[in-house]
Amino acid sequence: MQNFKSIEIKKEEIVPIAEKMRNEGRRLVMIHGYVDKEGQKIVSYQYEVGDTVEAYTVKGEDVLPTISHIYDASASWPEEELHELIGVNFEGLNMKGRLFLPDTMFEGKGQILVTPLNELVKKTQGIKE
Amino acid sequence: MSYVIPIGPYHPSLEEPIHAKLYTEGEIIKDAEVFIGYNHRGIEKLAQEKNFIQTLVLVERVCGICSHSHPFAYAQAIEKIANMEVPKRGQYIRVIMAELERLHSHYLWLGIAAHLVGYDSLFMHIWNVREKIMDILEAISGNRVNYGMIIIGGSRRDISDDLRRNILQVLDEFKAEHEKIKEIILNDKTLAMRTKGVGVLPKDIAINMGTIGPHARASGVIVDVRKDAPYSSYEDFEFDVPVVEDGDVFARVLIRALEVDESIKIIKQALENLPEGPINLGMKIPKVPAGEFTQRVEAPRGQLIYYVVTDGGQTNYRVSIHVPTFKTAPTVPYMLRNNTVADAGLIIASIDPCFSCLDR
């Protein structure tokens, strides 16, 4: 049986929680993100604790500290992806460039998830032209 | 002499597009970079526009090889949010399909590995034996890929007693062939010389990078969602999680051969003890309240993660899909270092990558 527990935290708690989890040998399952109906960016740091996924959620922040120095590629890839998808900036993250999207799209940075599909089509056509 | 050698995004030894830059000194790779995103189809974005039934069809098309694992994970996330309990028979049929998928996926990759090391007769033999599994999948679902066996609340099609007996018989034949293939893998000098000590990923690096699935288990990391956080009645079955310590390409070949034995065990137990009763809760469009859930499934390549957020409406608010290759691809540059350029294609392929899944 798999379980899920969601806990809201503040931005300052991200790094201490990541360090605690790492010291306890917990696996970082994933960092997920989306934009809620009020336009707030939601970033969810999810750790494996036994058969439960503990989700530590930060709301409404545009800039977050990286935890890639604690969880290596396990954190840096999701952080790069979230930068592309919803435009969150991660302080201290060594960005390689674009992970999924072309460098030319959206002037090289994010928001694909919150851009309406018809606008995305126009922007993609713009690249082709 | 230093060179930068680009491999891909389209290359004969790559089944799907990925771009790797190799920084070399003569024949030796000193460093490497990996670039992905050549198959990005915006599936997560599209899932936000679809209802729960449509999303099942959509996510089944994230990948052609693990096309059962995706709706399996998605449906369970929705069922958890909606507090639905799938009938036991439905859960067992889901497990049977998942393990058959593991068999055909592992055999597909074992064949490719044989082909990449230049052992084409073994490649053709492995793919010939794999057809037995493809036939079973077709007999159960009507399809060789995109089985459409998952609905919200259970399985779409039942397995009759006749079919059950046939599958058990074919599995015995498959097992006998697998023993012969395993013997070749364990004892063949060509395969060993080409794969042993190549593309090594030590255990501590595998843990540090958070890698998962057979890729991690080939580096001595014990991780398997089916044991760590069982789902869909996996706790009912007796099976082992094989682990190999060496972390090289040979270990990745071996681990898949060993995992095939365990999958056969699970399928046989599920078929022999298939519970009586309904296979699903009915084919209605589900009422799903607002909520969120992260479901993990052990897909053939490792942990598949679906984070689903609903708002009480008819569509998903967010479907976040993270596939095993998302956790295994970052290890490629490390594994390439200090190997020869000739082994680059083999090392990249040794993670059993699915870039179509990864880019989604």
pLDDT in tens, B209-249: 889 999 999 999 999 999 989 999 999 999 999 999 888 99
Closest CA to A77 of B37, B230, B279, B234: B37
Closest chain B residue to A85, measured at CA: B45
Question: Residue A41 burial by CB count (10 A; 0-12/13-18/19+): exposed, middle or buried?
Answer: buried
Q: How many domains does chain B have?
A: 1
Report yes or no on B307 lying in a domain.
yes
Residue B299 contacts residue B89 (beta carbons within 8 Å): no
Q: Do A1 and B231 touch (CB under 8 A)?
A: yes
Which CATH number is B202's domain given?
1.10.645.10
Between CA B121 and CA B114 the distance in angstroms is 8
CB contact under 8 A, A100 and B330: no
How would residue B6 be classed by pLDDT, with cut points 50, 70 and 90? confident
Task: Please state, in angstroms and rounded to a whole number, the distance separating the CA atoms of residues B234 and B229.
Answer: 9
- B80–A77 C-beta distance less than 8 A: no
Closest alpha carbon to B325 in B227, B212, B244: B212
Question: Residue B92: which residues within 8 A CB-CB, separation 6 or more?
Answer: B233, B270, B273, B274, B275
Cβ contact, residue pair B45, A113, below 8 Å: yes
Residue B6 within any structural domain of the chain: no
Nearest-by-Cβ selection for A29 from B209, B305, B318? B305
Comparing C-alpha atoms, which of A34, A97, A28 is closest to residue A67? Answer: A28
Interface contact A102, partner B, CB < 8 A: yes
Residues of A in contact with B359 (CB under 8 A): 100
Cβ(B38)–Cβ(B31) below 8 Å: no
Contact A117, B45 (CB under 8 A): yes
Check: CB of residue B100 under 8 Å from CB of residue B133: yes
**CB-based contacts of B183: which residues, under 8 Å, 6+ apart?**
none
- The pTM assigned to this predicted structure is 0.89
Cβ-Cβ contacts under 8 Å, B295 against chain A: 2
Relative to beta strand A52-59, strand A3-8 is parallel
Instruction: Decide if B229 and A73 are in contact by the 8 Å CB cutoff.
Output: no
Q: Which residue has the tokens 């493809």?
A: B134
Where along chain A do its domains lie? 3-128
User: Which of B44, B231, B327 faces A74 most closely, judged by CB atoms?
Assistant: B327
Tokens of residue B72, six digits? 């399996």
- Of all residues in chain B, the one with the smallest CA distance to A47 is B294
Query: Which of A46, A77, A101 lies closest to B40 in CB terms?
Result: A101
How many residues does the structure list for chain B?
A: 360
Query: What band does B196 get if pLDDT is binned at 50, 70 and 90?
Result: confident
pLDDT at B230: 92
Mean pLDDT across chain B, nearest whole number? 89
pLDDT band at B75 (very low <50, low <70, confident <90, very high): very high
Smallest CA–CA distance, residue B202 to chain A, in Å, is 15
Residue B23 domain-assigned? no
**Predicted confidence (pLDDT) per residue in B245-274, tens digit:** 888 999 998 999 999 999 999 999 999 999
In a domain, B351, yes or no: no
Distance from CA of B281 to the nearest CA of A (A): 19
**Residues B171, B25: Cα–Cα separation, whole Å:** 49
Pick from A2, A34, A112: CB nearest B231: A2
**Comparing C-alpha atoms, which of B50, B359, B46, B45 is closest to residue A113?**
B45
Q: Which domain holds residue B139?
A: 42-333
Question: What are the beta bridge partners of residue A53?
Answer: A4, A48
Q: Which of A32, A37, A112 sits opposite B320 (nearest CB)?
A: A32
Does residue B229 form part of some domain? yes
Residue B78, both tokens? 């929705």
Say if the ipTM goes beyond 0.90: no
Phi, psi of A115 (to 5 degrees): -90, 125
* Alpha carbons B350 and B347: distance in angstroms, whole number: 5
- DSSP H helices, B188-289, are 189-195, 203-208, 213-217, 225-228, 249-272
Does the pLDDT at position A110 exceed 60? Answer: no
Q: What is the CATH number assigned to the segment(s) A3-128?
A: 3.30.460.80
Closest CA to A21 of A7, A33, A34, A35: A7
Cα A100 from Cα A80, distance rounded (Å): 9
Residues in chain B whose Cβ is within 8 Å of chain A: 33, 35-37, 40, 42, 44-46, 48-49, 76, 80, 208-210, 223, 228-231, 292-296, 303, 305, 307, 309, 311, 317-318, 320, 322, 326-327, 330-331, 359
Residue B85, pLDDT > 80, answer yes
Give the containing element (helix H, strand E) for B303.
Answer: strand B302-311
Q: Chain A 107-126, CB below 8 Å of chain B: which residues?
A: 112-113, 117, 120
Whether pLDDT at B135 is above 90? yes
Q: Any residues with CB less than 8 A from the CB of B35 and at least 6 apart, and which?
A: A97, B9, B18, B19, B20, B21
Per-residue pLDDT, averaged over B311-322, amounts to 89
* B230:A51 CB<8 A: yes
pLDDT tens digits along A12-23: 999 999 999 999
Q: B292-311: per-residue pLDDT in tens?
A: 999 999 999 999 999 999 99
